[in-house]
């Protein structure tokens, strides 16, 4: 009875050893840039498993696939190269995650072996910074004071790390500078506006990523300067006194816009 237990124990140890061999020692790690053309070599399976390339066919080496997902890599059975089989798009695969690892399983038969293959997909600068809109409209009162901030929607770049948006450039202009912080972009009033001089301002804002050369995206910021009724009315007739009793209409000329233009009806008498 004791012998039997010992045998079972020994068997279990072998099974455990085989399992651990397959699962722990079996991981292979590679790295590949996204968008490599199909046929590009990622690594060599035969070398990394310590197998002769000539044995790969006998061992029926293959990438395991349940048929439901796309296969991105293949094995060249004549030399053991792991190659790109179809387009690997990092953004499509991993979105804006900083790290992107493609997991595949490698099967060998006689004896059966299963290895995990982890392929780190590296970002290339294949996306441009983009603003959500072509135009950004902002209305600013001419009474706005220097230092006033007007938030601008940030640009987005599907690439990660240094290939994401790194800097912004605002077209040179008289009134505004740019305030860029980690998660915000502001137009900052640097010189106060005067609607009587300028009513509308178009500014080109450019977002740049960290590629070399950088890729860029632009948006036009259309600023409308709103009236603050800051001009003192001036009467059109300065010498209106008359010796007769009369009623006269005077137009108040105000250099501010329409809502503040008024007509005064004056009546007076000569006593």
Ligand X SMILES: *[C@@H]1O[C@H](CO)[C@@H](O)[C@H](O)[C@H]1NC(C)=O
**Chain residues that interact with ligand X, rule: CB under 6 A:** 39, 76, 78-79, 83
Query: 259 pairs with which residues across the strands?
Result: none
Identity of the residue, 42 or 193, whose beta carbon is nearer to ligand X in the bound complex: 42
Identity of the residue, 60 or 246, whose beta carbon is nearer to ligand X in the bound complex: 60
Least Å distance, CB 39 to ligand X, is: 5
Least Å distance, CB 68 to ligand X, is: 24
Q: Residue 84 in contact with residue 37, Cβ under 8 Å?
A: yes
Q: What is the residue whose two structure tokens read 């991981």?
A: 27
Least Å distance, CB 105 to ligand X, is: 21
Identity of the residue, 59 or 195, whose beta carbon is nearer to ligand X in the bound complex: 59
Identity of the residue, 37 or 103, whose beta carbon is nearer to ligand X in the bound complex: 37
State whether residue 144 is helix, strand or coil.
coil
| 172 DSSP 8-state letter | P
CA angle 133, 139, 143 (to 5 degrees): 150
Least Å distance, CB 127 to ligand X, is: 29
Least Å distance, CB 38 to ligand X, is: 9
Between CA 32 and CA 46 the distance in angstroms is: 18
Identity of the residue, 86 or 251, whose beta carbon is nearer to ligand X in the bound complex: 86
Identity of the residue, 82 or 187, whose beta carbon is nearer to ligand X in the bound complex: 82
Question: How many residues can be counted in the chain?
Answer: 271
State whether residue 18 is helix, strand or coil.
helix
Between CA 149 and CA 184 the distance in angstroms is: 11
- Going from the C-alpha of 88 to that of each of 33, 62, 73, 202, 215, the distances in angstroms are 8, 19, 9, 40, 21
Least Å distance, CB 83 to ligand X, is: 5
Between CA 228 and CA 141 the distance in angstroms is: 6
Kindly give the residue spans of alpha helices, DSSP state H, lying in the chain.
Answer: 2-24, 45-49, 90-94
Using Cβ positions, the residue closest to ligand X within the complex turns out to be: 76
């Amino acid at each position: 009875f004791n012998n039997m237990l010992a045998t079972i124990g020994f068997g279990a140890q072998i099974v455990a050893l085989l399992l651990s061999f397959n699962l722990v020692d079996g991981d292979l790690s590679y790295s590949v840039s996204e968008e490599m053309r199909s046929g590009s070599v990622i690594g060599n399976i035969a070398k990394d498993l310590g197998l002769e390339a000539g044995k790969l066919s006998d061992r029926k080496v293959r990438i395991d696939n349940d048929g439901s997902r796309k296969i991105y890599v293949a094995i060249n059975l004549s030399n053991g190269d792991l190659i790109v089989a179809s387009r690997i798009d990092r953004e499509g695969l991993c979105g804006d995650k900083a790290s992107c690892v493609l997991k595949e399983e490698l099967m060998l038969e006689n004896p059966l072996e299963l290895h995990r293959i982890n392929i780190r997909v590296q970002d290339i600068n294949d996306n441009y910074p983009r603003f959500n809109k072509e135009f950004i409209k902002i209305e600013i009162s001419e009474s706005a004071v220097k230092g006033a901030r007007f938030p601008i929607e940030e640009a987005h770049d599907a690439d990660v790390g240094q290939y994401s948006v790194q800097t912004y450039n605002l077209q040179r202009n008289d009134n505004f500078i740019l305030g860029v912080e980690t998660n915000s972009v502001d137009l900052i009033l640097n010189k106060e506006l005067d609607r009587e001089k300028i009513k509308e301002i178009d500014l080109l804002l450019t977002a740049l990523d960290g590629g070399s050369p950088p890729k860029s995206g632009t948006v036009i910021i259309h600023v409308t300067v709103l009236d603050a009724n800051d001009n003192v009315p001036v009467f059109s007739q300065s010498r209106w006194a008359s010796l007769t009793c009369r009623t006269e209409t005077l137009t108040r000329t105000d250099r501010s816009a329409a809502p503040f233009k008024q007509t005064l009806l004056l009546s007076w008498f000569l006593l």
